[in-house]
Structure formats: C-alpha cells, structure tokens
A and B are shown apart, each in its own frame.
Chain A
C-alpha cells in the first residue's frame, strides 16, 4: 500500500473529503442544535445544552399527531419492505429469462423510477377519488410507495442474478430437487445478501417517502408529512430534535442491515 501516491491522489482525495463533509456537515449541525437550551433558537449560538426539545417533541400540544404518525410510518415501512422483497424476488426470478411481455415490464419498472413523483401521487389520488374509494396510508399510499421501492428492488435483483452462477441451480435440479426446493435451499442462501439490501431499500425509502405519499395518505399523516407540516409552521429547535431522532433511527436501520449482509457473506465464505 505504501508505494508512492501521486499528487493527483491527494488532490482528488481532498475533493472527496470535502464532498463527504458537504454530505454530512449540515445534518451534523442540526444534531448539535437539537441540544439547544430552552431559550435557544434555530441557529447558533447555543444557549446552554439540554434535552428540552426532545422532551418537547413528546408533548402533544407542540406538534400534531406525532406519535401516531411515527407508528403509521413504521408499520407502513414494514409492509412496503415485505411487499418489495416478495414482489422483486419473484419478478427477478421470472425476468432471468425473456418471456413475451418482459421487455414491456422492464420498461414500466424504469418508467416508475423516472416519472416525477408528484404525477404518480396526483394520478393515484384522482383514480381513488373518481372511483369513490377513500385514500388511506395502508392502501393508496402503500401502492404509491411501491412504485418507488420496486424499481430499486428489481434492479438489485438484476445485479444479483447477473453474478449468479446458474450451474448451482442446474445441479440441484439434476439431483432431483423440486423448483421450490432448489429456490429455498440453493438460490435463496446465495442471494441472501441482495435480499437484505432490497429489504433495507424497501424499508428506508418508504419510511422517508414524501412526494408520492403526500396526496395518497388520506386523513392520517405519515411521519414525513408531519415533518413537512412542521417545517412550515414550527420555528423552534423541536424540528431539529425530530430530525436528529429520525436520522439516528435510519442510521441504526442501515447499520443493522449492513451487519446482516456482512454476517451472511462471512457465513457463506466459511461454508465454501
């Protein structure tokens, strides 16, 4: 590793470092500011250090239905995660081979990714209102979020199966395994890290989704909708406290998922 690094390495390394600082700096400041003293404002200087705004967050009069929105967001994220994993996995298995309609389906997956979210949200809202069905976070918003998470799930499946050695599966079939057995005992263990990745994307993208949920969530807000409402009418560091908590939660989810991937990889390497 110690052969001479070029000047270019240090220049680009510095640029990269600044980029990372640019990515993480702002969130770092609001984490610090969320510990403002009770008299502190939205910016520096810090007027004391306290947990005041975190406690404030849990007092119902400060914000709307904060507790309820957290619960709904968590439940919805789990639902979207489960559906994203199941649907992407199944479609990924199917799309390893071409079949009539597979190109169209793939085009739709890509379209789902690049159609502006506000159009999806408005369109679903209109379909539901014209059909006389009430929008709800567990129905219309659930579907709206899937249009955002499924493309990521399917593309991850594609990446996984591109590196997948099909002779393992063929061997299982030659040894008399049924389609389900070869999937359950051969394919699934090999692609498990990719599946965890899909779960992570499904959960996180749903938990933080705003534009596609906005017109589809119905009368009960999810957490991002609640946060958005707060940004327009709350002028105390309580917004930062909420930002700190929810970002910390996302970070924990990411770390857990990455550890699971690392563990699965290690276990497989040990067996091989």
Chain B
C-alpha cells in the first residue's frame, strides 16, 4: 500500500462510525494522560481563577467573593510598568533569538552536508537544554561581573578605562541570559521546518535565476514560517512567565510579571497572586492566539 493510499485509508477509517469497542480501547490508553493533565493542569488553573475572586487576610484565604484583587492589580501603576517592562524583555529576546535561531537553523539545514553532520551539530546545540537552567544562568556571573572576564578582557585591549557596571545585575544581563537559555527553542522548530522543504524547490528557484536573497525571501522564508511561529510561541511564553532568570541576573533590581507574582506568593497574598496569574494567562493566550491567526501551525503537527 502506497503512502497516499494509506493516508486515504486512515482518513476513511477516521470518518467511519467506528464501533464503540475501538474507541473504548483508545480512551483507556489515553486515560492516564487525561487524568494527569486534568488533575495537575486543568484543576489548578480553575483553582487559580476561583481564588483570584476570593478575599484574604494576612494569614489565610477567605471564601468570600470579591473583585478587589483585580481592581488592585489593574489600578496599580506598578503593574502596568511591570507588564510593559516584561513585554520589552519579550520583544527584545524574541528579535534576537529569531535572528540567531534562523541563521543557525539555516546553516544546519542548507549548508551542512550529510545527515550525520547535521544531526551531530544539532545535538551539540540541544544538549544544554537537558542541563540545569539555574546553573546555566549563574555561569554568566564570573563572565559579567565588575571583575569578570568580559571587563578584564576589555580593559586589557584598552577598549575601556573603567570596568563596565551594566554588564551584570542589569536588564542587559537578563536579556543575555534569556537568549542563552531560549535560542534553542527557536532553532529546533525552524530547523525542523527547513528540513521539510523540498530541495527541488530551491533548485527550481536557482534555475529560474533567483539569487541567494531572492530564494531566501520567496522560498525558504515562507516555508519556514510555521517553525518561526512555534519558536516565537515558546520564547514569548517562557519570557513572559519567567521569574528565576530575571531575579538572578538583575540582582533583584529589575521587575517582571513572574517576579511580581512570586513576591506576592512569598507574602502569602495568594488571591492577589492568583489574579495576577489569571491576567498573565489571558495575555499569554491572547498572544498565542494572535500568532496562530497569522500562521497556521496545524500542518506542522
């Protein structure tokens, strides 16, 4: 049976009103996944929504419906500033990771020859993902500090006379760490999309007289759009929810939405934290929705 026929057969199978038994089998196999996500994802998010409407005292949550938590969050200038600052982090990190991710993926997909080298170099890029984020973040400290390697090197070659103070514990350090941690989330989906591009299309473009940039713009870019969209979703949601990196790299001097929620939690103001969390979730879902409207990623999955 050819691939086309098989797909067709499967589609037919999907449309056929299947007997109850085969569905029961599938449900049984999928039940553990559904149970885990139901208990540890859906229920907690419903709980967040409920708690965000509850009153609280300094020691506990009071089961009394209020809108005050949202009023507190939305009417505070600090909240708006913090959100704006987090958007800024997300936008800058997105632009840089997209640029790096695109060219790294392009190099792997189109310049490296042979699948062994391609996969080997891709693994080289993805291994750090399976090591500790905290360690990877703090590993920048000896690099960026006032007496760190970067300053020492710049002083030695005479580019600066005094050590640069902004390298560590600054927004610069935060973005640097984000790019370091999250670029892989761009590389992987873009590389995946590029590997699926039919090489004959590129040859056809060349034969039709298109140069490198023309081919890139009219063939490769449109065909790797889905990969870029998936990468964007990852990077944006990771930055929007982060509190760890911003805390370590800004030395507690910079704010982010995640850190704001984290602070409310440490003050045991759970309903306030929950209201903030629900707003963050709504914003993240809106952003993802907007990306999905621009790019249809379903065919990628």
Chain A residues within 8 Å of B, Cβ to Cβ: 1, 8-9, 12-13, 15-16, 19-20, 22-27, 29-30, 33, 42-44, 83, 86-88, 90-91, 93-95, 97-102, 105-106, 108-109, 111-112, 114-120, 122-124, 126-127, 130, 143-144, 146-147, 150, 154, 158, 166-167, 179, 200-201, 204-205, 208, 210-211, 215, 224, 227-228, 231, 239-240, 243, 246-247, 250-251, 253-254, 258
Chain B proximity of A102: nearest CB distance (Å): 7
Give the residues in chain B near A8, CB-CB below 8 Å.
111, 212
Give the docked Cα–Cα distance between A87 and B142 (Å).
41
Find B33's partner among A43, A105, A254 (CB 8 Å cutoff): A105
User: Is the pair B139, A94 in contact by a Cβ cutoff of 8 Å?
Assistant: no
B100 interface residue (CB < 8 Å to A): yes
User: Is the pair B6, A126 in contact by a Cβ cutoff of 8 Å?
Assistant: no
Give the docked Cα–Cα distance between A12 and B111 (Å).
8
B contact patch SS: helix
A86 touching B135 in the complex, CB below 8 Å, given contacts A44-B142, A116-B280, A211-B243 = no
B201 interface residue (CB < 8 Å to A): no
Interface segment out of the listed B75-83, B126-134, B154-162, B219-227: B126-134
The residue on B at minimum CB distance from A32 is B142
Give the residues in chain A near B36, CB-CB below 8 Å.
83, 87, 143, 146-147, 150
B172 interface residue (CB < 8 Å to A): no
Find A123's partner among B10, B29, B45, B130 (CB 8 Å cutoff): B45
Find A99's partner among B27, B135, B284 (CB 8 Å cutoff): B27
User: Is the pair B180, A22 in contact by a Cβ cutoff of 8 Å?
Assistant: yes
What are 20 A-B residue pairs whose CB atoms fall within 8 Å in the complex?
Answer: A33-B142, A114-B284, A114-B288, A118-B261, A120-B41, A122-B277, A123-B277, A124-B40, A124-B44, A126-B48, A127-B43, A143-B39, A158-B301, A167-B1, A200-B130, A246-B131, A246-B132, A246-B135, A250-B130, A250-B131
Give the residues in chain A near B124, CB-CB below 8 Å.
20
User: Is the pair A116, B240 in contact by a Cβ cutoff of 8 Å?
Assistant: yes
Give the docked Cα–Cα distance between A204 and B40 (Å).
20
Give the residues in chain B near A23, CB-CB below 8 Å.
125, 128, 180
The residue on A at minimum CB distance from B284 is A116
Give the docked Cα–Cα distance between A90 and B36 (Å).
13
The residue on A at minimum CB distance from B132 is A208
A94 touching B30 in the complex, CB below 8 Å, given contacts A23-B125, A126-B274 = yes
Give the residues in chain A near B41, CB-CB below 8 Å.
108, 111-112, 115, 120, 147
Chain B residues within 8 Å of A, Cβ to Cβ: 1, 6, 10, 13-14, 18, 22-23, 25-30, 32-34, 36-37, 39-45, 47-48, 51, 61, 100, 103-104, 106-108, 111, 113-114, 121, 123-125, 127-128, 130-136, 138-143, 145, 147-149, 152, 180, 183, 212, 233-234, 237, 240-244, 248, 258, 261-262, 265, 270, 273-274, 277, 280-281, 284, 288, 301
Give the docked Cα–Cα distance between A123 and B240 (Å).
17
Give the residues in chain B near A167, CB-CB below 8 Å.
1, 6
A109 touching B37 in the complex, CB below 8 Å, given contacts A101-B27, A123-B48 = yes
Given A30-B142, A118-B258, A150-B37, output 9 extra A-B contacts at Cβ < 8 Å.
A20-B125, A23-B180, A29-B142, A30-B135, A44-B148, A91-B29, A122-B274, A167-B6, A204-B131
Chain B proximity of A101: nearest CB distance (Å): 7
User: Is the pair B33, A150 in contact by a Cβ cutoff of 8 Å?
Assistant: yes
A119 touching B131 in the complex, CB below 8 Å, given contacts A13-B107, A26-B143, A94-B26 = no
Give the docked Cα–Cα distance between A24 and B40 (Å).
34
User: Is the pair B135, A27 in contact by a Cβ cutoff of 8 Å?
Assistant: yes
Chain A proximity of B270: nearest CB distance (Å): 6
User: Is the pair B265, A215 in contact by a Cβ cutoff of 8 Å?
Assistant: yes
User: Is the pair B131, A251 in contact by a Cβ cutoff of 8 Å?
Assistant: yes
User: Is the pair A12, B103 in contact by a Cβ cutoff of 8 Å?
Assistant: yes
A114 touching B234 in the complex, CB below 8 Å, given contacts A9-B111, A94-B27, A227-B132 = yes
Give the residues in chain B near A166, CB-CB below 8 Å.
6
Give the residues in chain B near A211, CB-CB below 8 Å.
241, 243-244
Give the docked Cα–Cα distance between A211 and B28 (Å).
31
A87 touching B139 in the complex, CB below 8 Å, given contacts A29-B149, A99-B27, A119-B45 = no
Find B281's partner among A42, A95, A116 (CB 8 Å cutoff): A116
Give the residues in chain A near B140, CB-CB below 8 Å.
26
